[in-house]
Each structure stands twice: as structure tokens, then as C-alpha cells.
Chain A
């Protein structure tokens, strides 16, 4: 189930919230936790029940591993179950996400003839696997206690963050359960939740979805013009931000309904001064995960520059692989690794570009790396770059006509620029939020506009006869 759907907004959310409000009155935290866990399991299985066994088994199996690790001081046992837990998570990810890709690569580059299987990726697997893994590692490192099973289950399954994150750290989530914040009065937080949810919903429905439709008209097809390549890449650049950050905002908003604070996952990434800064602002929870568990396990303060470069490159290579099974994602990871490594080196040597160069340069890097991420093949990457850099006087003269033909997409991109560079981001709005009519009207407008555009538009059924 997705948040931006009628079923979620008019059925799932009201039932879950009303149930929560009623159960709060009996003041038993575990009953509320059980209700939220049950609701989350329903949320996860809605329309995709076949993935539930995989999810529940990995969830429970890892809790057993965590329990064992937490209950013994024997190094061998602790290490064994840590390795088992990590292997279990990585095996799942490998099978569902990378198995076919590996076979395809072997067929393509080594002349093998493996038959590809039809494997459907279970919902949210990349996120919940990592979330469980971080907790497992932290228990192993004795940086986290073994929480009660109910808290653990709610931590992993809590529906607002289950499908696409943010990957919440136990240190952010568990203390809220320990203080029984789920029992507290949350009226103002509900209002705040409505505002943040409506902003997230509008970001996704009103901006990201139409931009994705345009971008797909280029990236989903073969060939196109220079201007199409530029507009489609810009569309994807903004669409990814509004789609992903919109979803994260909705998650944060929903958390507020249940008195649970989830971290914001974005912090105006397009205001970044350089690519390292960009990655500190983009998909923050995932960036932090790679920073803590990959980068820092290779590079430590005081290490030499070469190690810094190596750590950066490996971190982004792993990030690329995590983002998707395809060579384009690996290339995208390497490209980002190189760009961030350059920034890190420059920082190390106290080199700072003037703002007038730094900001546009960062923007260009973001847009160009987007081509690597969104292309379906190396051929398309090559073709898109070749189109984008074959700007001629004739092409430039076609811009007014092209924009008039794609006025809606162009207007959305302009609006996206204004929102990204002029307006406060959701995190800032949340901080300064007050119960004022302005926000009530604004969120009502956004939610109704989103609902209006949520309904599907049927294909044209006319038959020419």
C-alpha cells in the first residue's frame, strides 16, 4: 500500500488512528504497540501478502540472533550469530535483488547461458534488511541493549517507515517507546502531522508524478532530441527529490499521528555547495548508514589521503550496488564516489571554490549523474550525453517552440526550482510550526489538490473504426 492512495487515506489511516485513539484510553503501552504492529503487518501485506512470510521470518530470526548475542559474553558465539544475521540479510538481498543481475552479467560477459528467473523484489527489503542489520551490529558492538520483543517488532515494522525508510536508528526510535510517548496527548502533533503529510503528498502527486511521466517519455523510449534529453533529465532530477522526500515527509507526518518522531530524510539537497554536502542532505538516513558502517570501517581520522579516497570510492560503490541491480547504478556510484572524493581532497587541502562556481558546478554534477542512474543501458547513457552536449544554435532557436509544446513540464520544473531554492524545507517548517489558520488552509488545499489528482486517468478507449 502506498500513502498517497485513497485506500490508505480513507480506510487504513482512519481505522489505525481511531483504533490508536481508543486504545490510548486504556493506558496500556503494549496494547497500543500491538495494535500498531498489527496495523503495520496489514499495511505491508495489503495487495502483496506473498512477501509477508519472508518479512516475518527475517524479522523474527534476527531477533533470535540478537537475543543470543545479547545474552552471552562468548566472543565466538556472538561473532557466529552476528555473521549469521548479516549473511541472512545479505543473502536475501542478493537473491531477490542481484541474483538475476549476476546471471545476466555472466551470460553477457562470460558467455554463460543461465536462465533468468522471474523474481519479484519483496517490498521494502532494502530498507528493513539494513534497519535490522544496524541493530544487530550495534547489539554485537554493545552499543545497544536487547529491547523487548514488542519494541523491536514495532521498531522494524512501524508502517510509516517500513517501505522506503527513513532507515531509523534504534537510538532514535527506542527511547520514545521507553518513555511511553505513544500514550501521551498529541493534539498539536496531529496538526503538525497533517501539515507535513499534506506537503509530502502534494510533493509526490502534484509535482513528482507528472515529472516522472514526462521523463519516462524520453527514458522509457529509444532516442529523442537534445531538448527532450535535457528536459527529461531535469524532470527526473526534480522528480526523484519530490517523490522521495515527499514520501519521507508523509512518513514523518504519519509518525506524528502516533506520537513517534521519525527523522527527516532530506535537508534541501539542491542547496548543496558541493557533492559531499549534497550527500549529507540527500536520503540522510541511508547516507548515514553507509557513512557509519562502510566509510568509517575503512577510514579513520588521521589516515592518509589515499585511504580517504579509497574509503569514499568503496562507500559509493556499495551505495550504487544498494540502489539497484544494474551496471548503470554501479557506474553512478563510482561517479559519485569520484566527485565526493575530489571534494574531500579539496577540503583536506583547504581548497574552496568561490560560491559562484561551487553551486552551479554542484547542480551540473547532480543533473549529469542523474543520467547514469536513470538510463536503462550504457547505450542510452551514451546517447543521452551525446544529445545533451550537442547543443547547436539551431537547437537553441527551437527552445521557445519546445517549451510551448511542453509548457506543463517546464512550469513544473520552474516551480520545483522555486520550491527548492526559495522556500523553507519541511524540516524548517516543522521547527517553526504553530497552530495558525494559514497552515490549516494551506494543508487543506494541498491535501484536496492531491486527492483530486490521485484518481487514475483511464486510457482512451476509443477505437477508430
Chain B
């Protein structure tokens, strides 16, 4: 074989293999640049590089949106449905990790030129002023070449065409391993561009001390941050304003809330100067500085990112929505006219406010006229409990009261207490309700759906303690003495009565696939919801876990299906926080039976913390 032929074979084969390599990257498309036709897995691509994959997505789908919220990771906490409601628009969230004002400016420019926009909401933190135009990573931190004149278009596509196959392998693996709970590989919702916080927002929020202990990020080392590129950022914001004005687009600029510890890492004078310079060029809503929000870590997922519920508050303040609790000093509209006063006020030193309330929750089950020695609480003991509680200064509150406290900031009594009764025995109506009524107290009854109105166990003849029918409770529900809620439909299985492989509360059974489990959970929940909502005409938003058993899947599922309050059976008191409805998730309860005297009950509550 001649050298010429040999080298030709080598060259042809090399081209062929390179072609296969490029084709694989086009098909699997780890960054969503080439259409992602094979897997259509934008959640993944957007997580790899939101700057690129979101633009690729919007190029195909921008007709569905007329407004955009753009900014660094802090911007992830503006829920698009809240934005849509207030602005009467269709928002797309262009949050990008570590996005600086260069990224924001180029994105605004591209959107206005190519899609058009009714509203542009720009969220800024302080990190942007540290570096303007830096690129944290040439694959995952860069803009799409279409937006960024500093990138060579051919070089850009070449780079992603000849990616290390490790990227494609990771995407395929992630695709294969998709499950109900989103993984760290797929944190964006392609349709809204929003960061998927289904897991974060369903997680239990503990008392502050415990929360800080579990999230050491809040109390870690402080560092000194300079903001050398603040002038460049101000200029970029001025250019963004000019672009929006030229396009008739409404620009809303928001300085995002900053956790007190993060705030103290910056030189306050530099930050004030930066904000004043911004106000000279662009009016903006300032939610940073020292506010009632910035002191309590629970308003933040971590030391750099505020919660979605805080995003709701910010939008409520901007739109003067008084149905949402917003602290007085949270959010000041800052303009060139009021900048000195407004910014000084935002940075005034304040003491940490107390926006939290301790909430013990009691858990009862069955009641009897007399002490039967079975643990069922006798009428007299229940009366004794209520008298002791009232004497100790406790005021029974309802679910509506605690929801209202966390959402609207409606004051609660000095020492609120919540009474719950599980299972839905007839004795809750016959004995407990009249006693509660006598003491002007209320309770929440969690009923097992399949036992409603039954005296025998499910489809058997086995006698059980009688359970009331839903209509029987209507009288007390209307009076406000009882609130009826779910204890699941049929997920309170009993060993010995439900076969060998008994389900432990709402948990997945051994050998049950996630798909089968979710289908079961969905059907079970739908039955409870249908029965309770049609009986009382209210939305089902509370569930007490049978045996207190729960999992992350169950919490995410329920939270996605409108359940705002869940109960466990852990012995502890709770702390609920104004403005954070998630503090009503996984409320711990103190079990009460006949052996607990009035005096002991008070001791139990105090001991539970």
C-alpha cells in the first residue's frame, strides 16, 4: 500500500469518526444547543448552562411569553405565577447562576431585539458589582454566542459540537435515572424557566437555632467583599433602561434582599454609594439593607438566596397587595429624588425582630364517657385538659388562624395551641365536640377516608370503634368548633387486618415501584379530597400522616397538590413564622391520652420546648 493511500484511509476514517462524535453530541445535546431532539430534556440542559439552554428554548417558544425576569440566582425566587398575576402578563424566568450585569444586559438586548417584551424585571444582588463580565466557566458559565459579541459564533458551536463524551454520558445517565423527586441535574422548569423548588419548599423549617445548626452556611466565616465594578454595573443598568424605553418596555429594577451576614461582608458605605449611583440613573425597589427579613435565616434557603415566599412578599409590596404580610421596613422605592434618605433608612442598624410564634399541637384519638383503661380520653379528663390549658394561658386556635398568621401576619394569641383529633371516631363528635364548644375551643379532626361512617373494618365484618359520617360533623364544622381534614383515604393500614405486606402509613411498600406508589398515593389523595371538599365545600389543605410516617416524596407530592399543613407524631413543639407558610409543614405533636392529667399536660407542653 502506498503512503498516499494509507494517509487517505487514515484521513477518511478520522473524518468519519469525528463525524460520529459530532453526531452524538448533536443528538444527545448536553447543553441544548442543537435542538435536543433525541431526549427533549431541557431541565437538564438548562441546569448545565441556563444562559444558553434558556435562549435555545425561547428561540422556539418565545411567542408564549411577553415578559421576562432576568438576573443572578437570587432572581430564582420570583415565582412566575405571582409575577403573572400582578403584572397580568406571561413571564419567563431567565435566572442564571452567577449572572452578572454583562449577562443581564446582553440578555435584555437579545430579548428586546428578537422577542419583544411588555415587562422586564431585573433582579440584582451585590455579587454583580464584584466583577462585570467575568466568566466562571467556558462551558457552563458563558452566554450563548448569539447574545455575546465577545464570542466567536463558529468557535462557540465547534466547542459544543466536540464536547468530551462524558457530558453526553452524564445526560443519558441522568435521563435514565429520572424520578419523582427532581435531582440536582434537572433543577429548572423549562416551561417557566423557574428554578424547581419543589423539594426545597416542602422541606421542614425548624426552630431558628436548629435551622442554623442544620445549615452551617449561615453562621460560617465572614469575608470581605469589595465591589470594584460597581460603576460598570451602574452604566449597564442605565443602558438597560435606555433599551427598555426605546422599546416601550416597562422596566422594574429590584435590589434583592440580602441576609444580614452577607450584607456585613460588604463595606456598607460602598454599597450605599453604589445604590445611590443606581438611583441617579434608574428608579428601583430596594429590598436590601437591614430589614425585618434580613435578620431571620429562615427567610433564606442559604446565606445567599431568599425564599420564594419572600419573593411573593416583595411583589406584594411593589403592587401594594395588603392581603400578604410584608414587614413595614421591607422594600423602599428609591429614586434620584429620595435616594439619600431612602438608602440611609434601609441601612439603619436595627435589632432582630421576632416574627415567630411557638405552637404546641396536641394529638387526641378516641374519647369515652368514663375512663376505660384503654387510653381513650374520658370526658372528664378532656375537660380537665382544657381548664388547665386556659389556666396556663393557652388559647386554642384553628388551622385558619395559623394559616392567616403565616400568610397575612394576623396576630395570634400570646400562647396559641392547636388541638387535633386523629382517625375520625364518632366520639370526636359525641364527646369531644360538646366539651370543646363549652370552653369556646376548636379542634381539627383528621378522618381516615375508608372508615368514614363505618363500624366494621373496611370490607370485612370485623367490628371497629365507630367512625362518624361526614355529614354528621357538619353542625360543628359550621359552628367553627371542628375543622375536618384528611388522615388519608386508605393508607392507615393495620397489621393483622391488611394482609402480610402492610403499608407503613403513607410510605412506599417494599417491592412497590415508585410509579405504582405514586399512582396509589394520587388515587388515595384524590378520594379524600373529593369526599371532604364535597362534604364541606372547602379546599383540602391539611393532612395528618397516619402513624406520623412520611417521606420526602410524600411531602413534595402533598405540597404540589395543595396541602399546606401536615402533621407528624414527633414529640416536640413547633415554631411558625410570619411570611413563611412552609413553617406549617411537618408540625410535630404531643400525644395525649387518659393517663395525662391536666397538670402533666402543661408539663409535657413546656418540656417539648
Interface residues of A (CB under 8 A from B): 187-188, 190-191, 194, 434-437, 439-441, 443-445, 447-449, 451-465
Q: Which residues of B contact A190 (CB under 8 A)?
A: 3, 7
Inter-chain contact B166/A457, CB cutoff 8 Å: yes
Residues 121-154 of B, flagged 1 when their CB comes within 8 A of A and 0 if not, give 0000000000000001111110000000000000
Given contact pairs A437-B6, A443-B10, A452-B162, enumerate 6 new A-B contacts (beta carbons under 8 Å). Answer: A437-B9, A439-B6, A440-B9, A461-B136, A462-B184, A465-B73
Inter-chain contact B97/A462, CB cutoff 8 Å: yes
Among the stretches B247-255, B301-309, B406-414, B589-597, the one at the interface with A is B301-309
Tell me, yes or no, whether B195 is within 8 Å of chain A by CB: yes
CA distance A453 to B200 in the complex (A): 36
Q: Nearest residue in B to A188 (C-beta to C-beta)?
A: B3
List 6 A-B residue pairs with CB atoms under 8 Å apart, sorted by A's residue number.
Answer: A435-B5, A441-B13, A449-B17, A452-B164, A458-B140, A465-B302
Q: Which residues of A contact B2 (CB under 8 A)?
A: 435
Total residue contacts A-B, CB cutoff 8 A: 93
Residues 63-88 of B, flagged 1 when their CB comes within 8 A of A and 0 if not, give 00000000001001000000000000
Inter-chain contact B1/A465, CB cutoff 8 Å: no
Q: Which residues of A contact B274 (CB under 8 A)?
A: none
Main secondary structure of the interface of A (DSSP, over half): helix
Q: Which residues of B contact A439 (CB under 8 A)?
A: 6
Inter-chain contact A461/B140, CB cutoff 8 Å: yes
Q: Which residues of A contact B200 (CB under 8 A)?
A: 465
CA distance A234 to B380 in the complex (A): 75
Q: Which residues of A contact B227 (CB under 8 A)?
A: none
Inter-chain contact A435/B305, CB cutoff 8 Å: no
Checking B16, B141, B302 against A461 with a beta-carbon cut-off of 8 angstroms, the contacting residue is: B141
CA distance A454 to B76 in the complex (A): 35
CA distance A439 to B166 in the complex (A): 27
Closest CB of chain A to B91's CB: distance in Å? 20
Inter-chain contact B14/A448, CB cutoff 8 Å: yes
Checking B16, B162, B187 against A462 with a beta-carbon cut-off of 8 angstroms, the contacting residue is: B187
Inter-chain contact A465/B304, CB cutoff 8 Å: yes
Inter-chain contact B17/A457, CB cutoff 8 Å: no
Tell me, yes or no, whether B163 is within 8 Å of chain A by CB: yes
Nearest 7 CB-CB pairs, A to B? A444-B13, A448-B17, A465-B305, A440-B9, A187-B3, A440-B10, A455-B164
Inter-chain contact B165/A465, CB cutoff 8 Å: no
Inter-chain contact A465/B14, CB cutoff 8 Å: no
Inter-chain contact A444/B3, CB cutoff 8 Å: no
Inter-chain contact A455/B13, CB cutoff 8 Å: no
Inter-chain contact A457/B167, CB cutoff 8 Å: yes
Tell me, yes or no, whether B47 is within 8 Å of chain A by CB: yes
Q: Which residues of B contact A449 (CB under 8 A)?
A: 17
Q: Nearest residue in B to A185 (C-beta to C-beta)?
A: B3
Q: Nearest residue in A to B183 (C-beta to C-beta)?
A: A462
Tell me, yes or no, whether B21 is within 8 Å of chain A by CB: yes
Q: Which residues of A contact B47 (CB under 8 A)?
A: 462
Q: Nearest residue in B to A444 (C-beta to C-beta)?
A: B13
Q: Nearest residue in A to B14 (C-beta to C-beta)?
A: A444
Q: Nearest residue in B to A446 (C-beta to C-beta)?
A: B17
Q: Nearest residue in B to A437 (C-beta to C-beta)?
A: B9
Interface residues of B in 274-332 (CB under 8 A from A): 301-302, 304-305
Inter-chain contact B18/A448, CB cutoff 8 Å: yes
Q: Which residues of A contact B301 (CB under 8 A)?
A: 465
CA distance A465 to B21 in the complex (A): 35
Q: Which residues of B contact A460 (CB under 8 A)?
A: 184
Checking B6, B10, B49, B195 against A465 with a beta-carbon cut-off of 8 angstroms, the contacting residue is: B195
Whether A464 touches B18, Cβ cut-off 8 Å, given contacts A435-B3, A457-B166, A458-B139, is no
Q: Which residues of B contact A437 (CB under 8 A)?
A: 1, 6, 9
Closest CB of chain A to B181's CB: distance in Å? 13
CA distance A365 to B195 in the complex (A): 54
Q: Which residues of A contact B302 (CB under 8 A)?
A: 464-465
Q: Nearest residue in B to A447 (C-beta to C-beta)?
A: B14
Checking B3, B9, B21 against A452 with a beta-carbon cut-off of 8 angstroms, the contacting residue is: B21
CA distance A454 to B302 in the complex (A): 36
Inter-chain contact B165/A453, CB cutoff 8 Å: yes
CA distance A448 to B20 in the complex (A): 10
Closest CB of chain B to A194's CB: distance in Å? 6
Inter-chain contact B9/A441, CB cutoff 8 Å: yes
CA distance A457 to B171 in the complex (A): 13
Checking B16, B76, B162, B164 against A457 with a beta-carbon cut-off of 8 angstroms, the contacting residue is: B164
Residues 1-34 of B, flagged 1 when their CB comes within 8 A of A and 0 if not, give 1110111011101101110010000000000000
Checking A187, A444, A455 against B162 with a beta-carbon cut-off of 8 angstroms, the contacting residue is: A455
Closest CB of chain A to B89's CB: distance in Å? 25
CA distance A191 to B9 in the complex (A): 11
CA distance A82 to B284 in the complex (A): 77
CA distance A457 to B137 in the complex (A): 10
